[in-house]
Amino acid sequence: MKLYCLSGHPTLPCNVLKFKSTTIMLDCGLDTTSVLNFLPLPLVHSPRLSKLTGWTSKDGTVNLEKELKECAGRVFVDSQPEFCLPERELLDLSTIDVILISNYHCMMALPYITEHTGFTGTVYATEPTLQIGRLLMEELVNFMERVPKAQSATCWKNKDLQRVLPGPLKEAVDVWTWKRCYSMHEVNSALSKVQLVGYSQKVELFGAVQVSPLSSGYSLGSSNWIIQSHHEKVSYVSGSSLLTTHPQPMDQSSLKNSDVLILTGLTQMPTANPDGMLGEFCSNLAMTIRAGGNVLVPCYSSGVIYDLLECLYQFIESANLGTTPFYFISPVANSSLEFSQIFAEWLCHNKQTKVYLPEPPFPHAELIQTNKLKHYPSIHGDFSSEFRQPCVVFTGHPSLRFGDVVHFMELWGKSSLNTVIFTEPDFSYLDALAPYQPLAMKCVYCPIDTRLNFHQVSKLLKEVQPLHVVCPEQYTQPPLSQSHRSDLMLELTPPPMPYRRCSVLNLPFRRRYERVYILPELANSLTPNEVKPGVSVATVSAVLHSKDNKHTLQSVPKPPPVAPSKKRKRVVEEPPVGLAPKPLLSGAVPLESFLVTLQKHGITEVKVEETPDGHILHLQAEDTLIQLEDDGTHIVCDNNEPLRTTLRDLVLRFLQKL
Amino acid sequence: MPEIKVTPLGAGQDVGRSCILVSIGGKNIMLDCGMHMGYNDDRRFPDFSYVTQNGRLTDFLDCVIISHFHLDHCGALPYMSEMVGYDGPIYMTHPTKAICPILLEDFRKITVDKKGETNFFTSQMIKDCMKKVVPLNLHQTVQVDDELEIKAYYAGHVLGAAMVQIKVGSESVVYTGDYNMTPDRHLGAAWIDKCRPDILISESTYATTIRDSKRCRERDFLKKVHESIERGGKVLIPVFALGRAQELCILLETFWERMNLKAPIYFSTGLTEKANHYYKLFITWTNQKIRKTFVQRNMFEFKHIKAFDRSYADNPGPMVVFATPGMLHAGQSLQIFKKWAGNEKNMVIMPGYCVQGTIGHKILNGQRKLEMEGRATLDVKLQVEYMSFSAHADAKGIMQLIRMAEPRNMLLVHGEAAKMEFLKGKIEQEFSIDCYMPANGETAMVTTNPSVPVDMSLNLLKREMALGGPLPDPKKPRTMHGTLIMKENSLKLVSSEQALKELGLNEHQLRFTCRVQLQDPHSDPDTLHRVYTHLKSVLKGYTIQHLPDGTVMVESIVIKVSSSAEDVNAKVLLLSWSYQVQQSPVIFSSEPFNQFLFSSSRKGFRHTR
């Protein structure tokens, strides 16, 4: 059993598990942090960005002014942003049988894997994961395609040139494998390979392995996965949460008794308390609005935004913000808000109860109804005429490199009245802001990451007690910036097996048993015999049938009676293969009883001689020796077949047969 | 032999008060707990005394499963759980859990408030009963306890309707509830995988019907409504608040839109709005098309259909009214019917099945004079139309489901005996499986023959698979041998050697040695070598080795030579083998082999002599 690690990003994992005869990809995360190296894509012409100077090396030998631009002391690639894909050379992706998706954030690389690689398998995901994942992909494609960039920068990727570039471009890894965004056609094709599953549904893969998604409590439809056979169990834990937000609570108990637990997707903000952050978010928002400024919230169009809106729903009245317009701008804003209301089965208990009334589970329905929250597909169209300031805008992309957020950064960046509040933990806010510097706007960092922290995860592991834990290497040491915080790492016995991008781990498994089925006819013919109290054995002779990885044992068919035929049949050279072998013997032959038995069979002249290990019986009339020892009996005689057979049967009477 | 027992307490050779007891692998499950629309006395509920005469329901039942929210499937639930007494889990899907209490409350109101019955369940009892409900998701495998698991499949029929698979070990039963094998305007078609249950318990409402295409029926329906409206008549469509109502609303709404019709369409009772809300929130349970487009246009927001008020019934001019309940046995639909029955311009369209004893059933059977309460009679002059819109599988659909699930046995409920009999014959003929149709209180017993799961040592399995070659050869079955160890609840199949080890037993070696006297003048090693070369030439195709320790091995038979102290020429050939000796493949067992060896040895030496 092996684990191939195709991504080094701990929260955007992509691993491949080879388990029994199946090849299973666990998640398909796309590392989007690579886009931070690119210039933002403005929706309308930006004089500031177009006036940036090109980059040439100090000594003037390297000139990449067409591709690289300098902005506030940093160098950015002027091209359509590109993503860092999961490793594609480590194993042949066409051999992957299935892909298990744990949540909509961890499937963004799917089209790169399922298209153009020869992939012919099935992708398993829950319905909310599929629907919201589709929205996020659609949004990404839309962000990229509506501002096409004529040029594509490739020269800077040359190894020799990259070496002389300033950081962080210089340190960027595998830049030649970075890829532009996929097309909607590829998204549709990739998603057509998804098969929907429900929590705790047992899905059989080729009869060899059973996989089952479990609620992970992190987002709508998010799941952890159990991959098991009758005797082995691997748990795959991806983004999970124990906090009470909108999704169904995490199913912890089903993770018990795992041989191996693969742990990914812990919080990226181990020191930030989500509740505290939410409070800070609200107070900063209110402060800015009261002072007459605008608030920009760069965010994904699904996930934490539902919680933010719910929090604001309660907060608006008390903070006297009833008249402030809230805008949610995304090509999929409407769909995201609508979809959130129809997944009652996947929500926490409180929200389910509301659906039974019947009321929409999320209060943003009411915010929309009362016109407090308005949503638009983009800044163009209706929004430009209806837009009032001061206001609060939720929009993407949180990297600030593309999407409508770029426009608001350019628009509001110059005024210190305005505030940008970062709530998504995926990007460093300083890096995100770099191409907009210098900025007058206030910046507040309130990352809300509800995924498990180290304290929660160690408690969880104590509870479910896996034999072995596999995790990204980042979790086995404290973060670089807080190297003294030994509480910000996993400490386990035995220590976790760390992985990094391109690792291939041999999982410590010893498979010893396989489930087979004894057909009723054979089962009825077995004759168990008790060898110890409570333990019985039966010898089994059967025909093994293996089909679709399922094994059954049937009775040995009786050879058909040879039909008396006049035709001379070819003499069967091979008799039925595999006569029942003689059983193994166990026990010992007790001397006294054996002598009595011999006597009964007319063997009376027996001379017994004691040896260090037992006795030698000399059957004088027959000129035969029988050597009796605790763990063996040896019959030595002349070539007298009937005698030997008799003696053999007498000895066997005293022994157990296996 | 293990058996599965199925006893209908209701819906055995009947439609109404569905309630079926299943005993499987030591577990007892109640499937549905409905009421009978045709009775107002004790017979309206299933006869729970079948169980309670021997003890409490809670002790007997491991769980109760409700297939969908129709009252003939859940109407007796509060009576069963709160009045007879049951505290175990009750499973149903989310939409059923949401809608079922509303219909129960409605039912209670009609019975208690309008008819003045006492000794009926109260609102509080409905609430207490619903607290015992555990929601089910589609395809989720719910572990009721360590052994009993249930799984829900989509059944079409109404919002949230489910078929359930009940599984204990390798035995299983599937109960369909009511289902529909063709998608309609708002729901999808029932689906199940090839799960090969021991018994498939299916409804058989339309056991003898094969319905024409849905499109034709829809066209017919619209034509009739349209004609009636054109001549200024009023159209009454008795429906149940949820289910067919929504389908017909979608149908009329799109028709009105297309034909630009102005006549008002009304929907009775306050349930409308609420009902449509349920459809909006549980849109994932509707059909593909509605789900795909719901963000742009929600099919359950109607433009032409307005809420009905009692006074509208006397308004002049044409109109279409959807009124509850669907079988004209009480409530608003019956009131409107009484008002409109005298005018031949008017029309009543019965879109679904009507239970015996209801007015719906009577007028469908052509009765034109109805006895009403208080000895009054009502002349029925309006047109009576029947359109089978109720979403049950027809005979074709039932056969289709059997093909999908491949059951080993079939059991029919929720249908009329005569019709069942006909379908039973068809099923037995076409699928050659047994088909049962027990009446209420009768038990059908099905013997199952489950395989025994055992854990086979991987070493043994791999060894066997390797010997068997890459492809199975059906003509040459290979026999494997092993030892089955039965300890507590575990069954392990291992090789005999491993069995000895695991049981902590010593192996007892049984060996035989045979002495053969011969005369040979050579030294002992030379004699042995001569034996060796001779055997080699005589026994082709056997492994014969001359080992450095002064022995010759023929397969696993050991040959040694020794000479007596007195006569160096008198040699003794010692042939030694163990009890287990058996070469494979072999032409001979160990004894004949030895015979052969002796004769050939002797012969050989005679030659040399």
Model confidence pLDDT, tens digit, residues A491-502: 888 899 999 999
pLDDT at position A291 = 95
The helix/strand/coil state of A321 is coil
The mean pLDDT of chain A is 91
The helix/strand/coil state of B244 is helix
> Residue A23: CB partners within 8 Å, gap ≥ 6?
A16, A17, A95, A96, A97
pLDDT at position B475 = 57
Interface residue of A375, A577, A643 to substitute, partner B, most B CBs within 10 Å = A577
**In this complex, do B137 and A198 lie within 8 Å of one another by their Cβ atoms?**
yes
Confidence of residue A65 (pLDDT cuts 50, 70, 90): confident
Residue B473 sits at the chain A interface (C-beta within 8 Å): no
Both tokens assigned to A107:
């499937």
Q: Which residue has the higher pLDDT, B390 or B561?
A: B561
Residues of B (290-309) whose Cβ lies below 8 Å from A? 294-295
Minimal CA separation from A168 to chain B, in Å: 43
* C-alpha distances in Å from residue A607, one per residue of A120, A220, A591, A614, B193: 78, 86, 12, 14, 74
A363, A350 contact by CB (below 8 A): no
Minimal CA separation from A359 to chain B, in Å: 8
pLDDT at position A562 = 57
**In this complex, do A202 and B97 lie within 8 Å of one another by their Cβ atoms?**
no
Interface residue of A138, A585, A656 to substitute, partner B, most B CBs within 10 Å = A585
A127, A212, A543 ranked by CB distance to B479: nearest: A543
Task: Enumerate the β-bridge partners of residue B206.
Answer: B394
* C-alpha distances in Å from residue B529, one per residue of A298, B450, B547, B581: 92, 59, 10, 24
User: What is the rounded distance in angstroms from the CA atom of residue A173 to the CA atom of residue A169?
Assistant: 9
Confidence of residue A564 (pLDDT cuts 50, 70, 90): low
Confidence of residue B588 (pLDDT cuts 50, 70, 90): very low
Confidence of residue B208 (pLDDT cuts 50, 70, 90): confident
**In this complex, do B454 and A515 lie within 8 Å of one another by their Cβ atoms?**
yes
The helix/strand/coil state of B18 is coil
Q: Which residue has the higher pLDDT, B6 or B490?
A: B6
Q: Picking from A9-23, A86-100, A535-549, A555-569, which range would have the lowest pLDDT averaged per residue?
A: A555-569
pLDDT digits (tens, 9 = 90+) for A450-459: 999 999 999 9
Q: Is the pLDDT of residue A572 over 50?
A: no
For range A78-107, the mean pLDDT? 95
pLDDT at position A581 = 67
Q: Which residue has the higher pLDDT, A302 or B375?
A: A302
**In this complex, do B464 and A544 lie within 8 Å of one another by their Cβ atoms?**
yes
Minimal CA separation from A533 to chain B, in Å: 9
For range B222-235, the mean pLDDT? 92
**In this complex, do B479 and A542 lie within 8 Å of one another by their Cβ atoms?**
yes
Q: Picking from B48-57, B60-69, B522-531, which range would have the lowest pLDDT averaged per residue?
A: B522-531
Confidence of residue B76 (pLDDT cuts 50, 70, 90): very high
User: What is the rounded distance in angstroms from the CA atom of residue A265 to the CA atom of residue A12?
Assistant: 7
For range A233-254, the mean pLDDT? 95
Residue B376 sits at the chain A interface (C-beta within 8 Å): no
pLDDT at position B272 = 65
Q: Picking from A271-285, B173-187, B202-216, B315-329, which range would have the lowest pLDDT averaged per residue?
A: B202-216
- Name residue B62's amino acid: D
- Considering only alpha carbons, which residue of chain B is nearest residue A333? B295
A231, A537, A578 ranked by CB distance to B483: nearest: A537
Q: Is the pLDDT of residue A590 over 50?
A: yes
pLDDT at position A58 = 82
Residue B191 sits at the chain A interface (C-beta within 8 Å): no
Minimal CA separation from B517 to chain A, in Å: 9
A514, A535, A655 ranked by CB distance to B487: nearest: A535
Q: Is the pLDDT of residue B184 over 70?
A: yes
A513, A539, A546 ranked by CB distance to B457: nearest: A513
pLDDT at position B414 = 95
pLDDT at position A563 = 55
Show residues of chain A in contact with B486, CB under 8 Å: 528, 535-538
* C-alpha distances in Å from residue B416, one per residue of A578, B16, B39, B326, B461: 58, 10, 16, 20, 53
B75, B42 contact by CB (below 8 A): no
Minimal CA separation from B503 to chain A, in Å: 9
Show residues of chain A in contact with B450, CB under 8 Å: 520
Confidence of residue A182 (pLDDT cuts 50, 70, 90): very high
Q: Is the pLDDT of residue A574 over 70?
A: no
pLDDT digits (tens, 9 = 90+) for A402-439: 999 999 999 999 999 999 999 999 999 999 999 999 99
Show residues of chain A in contact with B94, CB under 8 Å: 344-345, 352, 355
CATH number given to A274-445: 3.40.50.10890
Interface residue of B508, B581, B589 to substitute, partner A, most A CBs within 10 Å = B508
Show residues of chain A in contact with B514, CB under 8 Å: 636-639, 644
pLDDT at position B587 = 31
Confidence of residue A571 (pLDDT cuts 50, 70, 90): very low
**In this complex, do A546 and B472 lie within 8 Å of one another by their Cβ atoms?**
yes
Q: Picking from A344-348, B429-433, B484-488, which range would have the lowest pLDDT averaged per residue?
A: B484-488
Homologous superfamily in CATH for domain A2-32+88-147+181-267+452-506: Ribonuclease Z/Hydroxyacylglutathione hydrolase-like (3.60.15.10)
For range B297-323, the mean pLDDT? 88
A335, A339, A513 ranked by CB distance to B455: nearest: A513
B246, B186 contact by CB (below 8 A): yes
pLDDT at position B391 = 76
User: Considering only the top CATH level, what class is A585-657?
Assistant: alpha beta
For range A498-526, the mean pLDDT? 90
For range B35-54, the mean pLDDT? 90
Tell me the torsion sign for CA atoms B86, B91, B97, B103: negative
pLDDT at position B477 = 63
pLDDT digits (tens, 9 = 90+) for A596-639: 888 888 888 888 888 888 889 888 888 888 988 888 898 888 87
Minimal CA separation from A472 to chain B, in Å: 31
For range A216-235, the mean pLDDT? 95
Q: Name the residue ranges covered by the structural domains of chain A.
A: 2-32+88-147+181-267+452-506, 274-445, 585-657
- Name residue B53's amino acid: Q
Interface residue of A195, A215, A345, A353 to substitute, partner B, most B CBs within 10 Å = A345
pLDDT at position B373 = 74
Residues of B (388-417) whose Cβ lies below 8 Å from A? none
Q: Is the pLDDT of residue B134 over 50?
A: yes
Largest CA distance in chain A: 122
Residues of B (493-552) whose Cβ lies below 8 Å from A? 493, 496-497, 499-500, 503, 505-517
Q: Which residue has the higher pLDDT, A365 or A63?
A: A365
Both tokens assigned to A491:
């400490």
**CA B412, B413, B419 angle in degrees (round to 5)?**
70
**In this complex, do B450 and A520 lie within 8 Å of one another by their Cβ atoms?**
yes
Q: Which residues of B are catalytic?
A: 203
The helix/strand/coil state of A636 is strand
Residue pairs spanning A and B at CB distance below 8 A: 265
Instruction: Compute φ and ψ for A637, nearest 5 degrees.
Output: -150, 175
**In this complex, do A655 and B510 lie within 8 Å of one another by their Cβ atoms?**
yes
Residue B486 sits at the chain A interface (C-beta within 8 Å): yes
Residue B567 sits at the chain A interface (C-beta within 8 Å): no
Minimal CA separation from A575 to chain B, in Å: 8
Confidence of residue B424 (pLDDT cuts 50, 70, 90): very high
**In this complex, do A518 and B483 lie within 8 Å of one another by their Cβ atoms?**
no
pLDDT at position B584 = 34
pLDDT digits (tens, 9 = 90+) for B369-420: 888 777 788 889 999 988 877 778 889 999 999 999 999 999 999 999 999 9
Minimal CA separation from A581 to chain B, in Å: 7
**In this complex, do B458 and A511 lie within 8 Å of one another by their Cβ atoms?**
yes
Residues of B (145-184) whose Cβ lies below 8 Å from A? 151, 170
Residue B565 sits at the chain A interface (C-beta within 8 Å): no
- Considering only alpha carbons, which residue of chain A is nearest residue B98? A356
> Residue A352: CB partners within 8 Å, gap ≥ 6?
A344, A345, A361, B94, B135
For range A245-265, the mean pLDDT? 95
What ipTM is given for this predicted complex? Answer: 0.86
B278, B499, B513 ranked by CB distance to A636: nearest: B513
